[in-house]
Amino acid sequence: MNDFHRLSERQRNILLFMDKYLLENGFPPTIREIGAATGINSTSVVNYNLNKLVNSGYLERAEAKSRGLRLVREFPGGRRRRVQTGEEMCRVRHYGLIVAGRPINVPEDPFSGDVVEVPASYLGGIDPSEVYALTVNGDSMIDAMIQDGDVVILRKTNTVRNGDMVAVWLTDRNETTLKHFYDEGAKIRLQPANPTMPPIYVEAEYCQVEGKVLSVMRLLKQ
């Protein structure tokens, strides 16, 4: 692997960043994410270096895909693994923030209008039109392996079972929260996954389930 050391510092940094990103997310970064992580301000310069890495046999790329990069060769410091390519990604609407702590007021327009790309396997075979994404704010679900800044993928439904992790709208308070759901008759218990935080009890008539969590996507934090 002596040719790895013949690569430019930028190219080595790109490979190391891609390896870390793939390990944490399971799918490739975009060109803009690569540039931001490696200090390259120009997307054309990122493209130039990616093409050099393709020519050197380290990468394959599908030009028409925003995440169409694939590591295909081992290198020092890397942990090569199978990754999902751009062809295996689904576009899911992103509806902004959901609080995994205490409930907060719903903004007048909670929908960001953005779209996130999600590995198809995260949807469990459900049509992407029935799925949406929310970014978690808070740490009340940390024992469920959900951290502040993670993106949760939810199925639009108001039918859930006890123990399901759900996004709920508390209609009497106009507030939202992310919690485990337990129907206890006249009241609903919204249980955090954090031993330092108490459950929230609400009247069943005021608790409206907006979606059930299917999976969690951890984004790389710079």
**Residue 222 domain-assigned?**
no
Q: Is the pLDDT of residue 70 over 70?
A: yes
Whole-angstrom distance, CA of residue 75 vs CA of residue 58: 8
- Tell me, yes or no, whether 202 and 112 share the same domain: yes
6: three-class secondary structure by DSSP: helix
Indicate the residue among 83, 115, 134 that finishes a domain.
83
Whole-angstrom distance, CA of residue 209 vs CA of residue 75: 47
Cβ(15)–Cβ(80) under 8 Å? Answer: no
* Number of domains the chain is built from: 2
- Tell me, yes or no, whether 180 and 96 share the same domain: yes
Task: Give the structural domain span for 189.
Answer: 90-217
- For 75-103, how does the pLDDT look when each residue is reduced to its tens digit (9 = 90+)? 887 765 544 444 477 888 888 888 876 66
Average pLDDT value over all residues in the chain = 83
**Residue 199 domain-assigned?**
yes
CA distances from 42 to 4, 145, 209 (A): 23, 35, 44
Selected catalytic residue, list 8, 121, 129, 179: 179
Active site residue 221: no
Cβ(153)–Cβ(159) under 8 Å? Answer: no
Residue 147, pLDDT score: 85
Residue 111, pLDDT score: 53
- Tell me, yes or no, whether 121 and 105 share the same domain: yes
Active site residue 179: yes
Selected catalytic residue, list 52, 121, 140, 221: 140
Whole-angstrom distance, CA of residue 14 vs CA of residue 38: 7
- Tell me, yes or no, whether 40 and 134 share the same domain: no
- Tell me, yes or no, whether 97 and 207 share the same domain: yes
- Tell me, yes or no, whether 57 and 100 share the same domain: no
pTM of the model: 0.59
